[in-house]
Amino acid sequence: MPDTDFVMPTYGRMDISFSKGEGAYLYTDSGDKYLDFISGIAVTNLGHCHPHMVKALQKQAETLWHTSNLYNVDLQTKAAKRLCENSFGDQVFFCNSGAEANEAAIKTARKFHSERGRPQAHRIIAHRNAFHGRTLATLAMTGKSAIMEGFQPHVQGFDHVNVGEVDKIKKLITPETAAIIIEPVQGEGGVKLVDADYLKALRKICDEFGLLLIFDEVQCGMGRTGKLFAHEWSGVKPDIMSLAKGLGGGVPVGACIATEDAACGMGPSTHGTTFGGQPLVMSAVNALLDIILEESFLQEVASVGDYFESALSNLAAEFPEFFEAEVKGAGLMRALKAKITNMDIVKKCMDHGLLVFVAGDNVVRFLPPLIIEKAHVDEAAEKIKSALLEMRQEAA
């Protein structure tokens, strides 16, 4: 049996592995080079082995790795302060993944209400077509039967609406409701931007009914859309936000950020983690923040993002048999809806040296590292074009 059989087959993997990464490129052992426009699913946001991050991690690896949260961790304090200074938040809980960040968000919301004398308020209104993770609570919050099947009994306390259903939400709210959660850009659901007006309406409902508003920015946060956090485009502030994926640029880390008010219940021993916020990982987070908080960094992401949008728009116009015209997303979080099976396009792009991936609603999803330049966009467009030309020929 092949050695890969020793890995629990929870993923239908493509049969390739990479041994080296540099900037926007990945290399196989045999030296094949790929332009990486998926970034480990929005994780390696500064590309592979960014020199500043390598230096920070090397230095930290020689100094101190782990001490636990029994003690202050200076690099954790520093990262928390920087995230708060650059967001709506006042306090950060660091963990190790997006699902854990959402678990922390759920607990923070429930505890807020119990602290305020409303222990019955525990239900969270979530949105269909979202993705919040794979733990028992976060998959119940995601609410998609395909990923819940076989894992009964499901965690209770989640109601679901479609994006835009303001009236339905108002009808669902009872004294048991604690919060509303939404991804400002639905990533796995097909890179769907949520309307700013709808986010505003959610803020208003939360204020009116005393609920907390939670934004899941695990995928769309950390500069992906050309703002540090995607919700900044709408001007709406949440009470709690979850982060992960791009937060460590490739080291596993998540965070739950909250206002002081929303986090009022999260005192000593209410929540915890052995690994979360450890020095080695926090050195990477701080190094990443050094770069993406630079004056012009996010402006550049937005500008290359616009350039990418028009490149995709041109491709869609040139290949109307493969793609619908609308370019989805913002900044460097983009997608095109395919008219054939999206995975066929993904595989063909890979044959032509470009890594992209699928998402819901039959889209092909593009998540290049945020350090790319226009030349990388041109190169990607060339590769997509040659892939589609080949598919056109095969179809003829």
Ligand X SMILES: *Cc1c(COP(=O)(O)O)cnc(C)c1O
Which parts of this chain interact with ligand X (CB under 6 A)? 97-99, 102, 131-133, 183, 187-188, 216, 218-219, 244-245
Residue 185 beta carbon to ligand X: minimum distance, rounded to whole angstroms? 9
Which of 124, 381 has the CB closer to ligand X? 124
**CB atoms inside a 10 Å sphere around CB 166:** 14
The CB-nearest residue to ligand X is 98
Q: Which tokens sit at 172?
A: 């669902």
Give me the amino acid identity at 128: R
Q: Coil, helix or strand for 376?
A: helix
Q: What is the 8-class DSSP label of residue 251?
A: B
Q: Least CB distance from residue 187 to ligand X, whole Å?
A: 4
Q: How far is the CB of 36 from ligand X (least distance, A)?
A: 17
By beta-carbon proximity to ligand X, the closer residue of 88 and 131 is: 131
Q: Are 92 and 74 in contact (CB under 8 A)?
A: no
Cα distance between residue 61 and residue 30, in whole Å? 29
Q: Which is nearer to ligand X, 98 or 223 (CB)?
A: 98
Angle value at C-alpha 342, between 381 and 319, nearest 5 degrees: 45
177-182/91-95 β-pairing = unpaired
Cβ contacts of residue 184 below 8 Å, gap of 6+? Answer: 193, 194, 199, 215, 217, 220, 229, 230, 231, 233, 234
Q: Between 342 and 348, name the residue whose CB sits nearer to ligand X.
A: 342
C-alpha 227/C-alpha 301 separation (Å) is 8
Least distance to ligand X from the beta carbon of 303, Å? 25
- Rounded to the nearest whole angstrom, what is the least distance from the CB of residue 10 to ligand X in the complex? 12
| Nearest to ligand X of 105, 355 (CB atom) | 105
Q: Which CB sits closer to ligand X, 188 or 388?
A: 188
Closest to ligand X by CB, 32 vs 151, is 151
Fill in the DSSP letter of residue 247.
G
CA distance 31 to 27: 6
CB of 99 to ligand X, least distance (A): 3
Q: How far is the CB of 96 from ligand X (least distance, A)?
A: 8
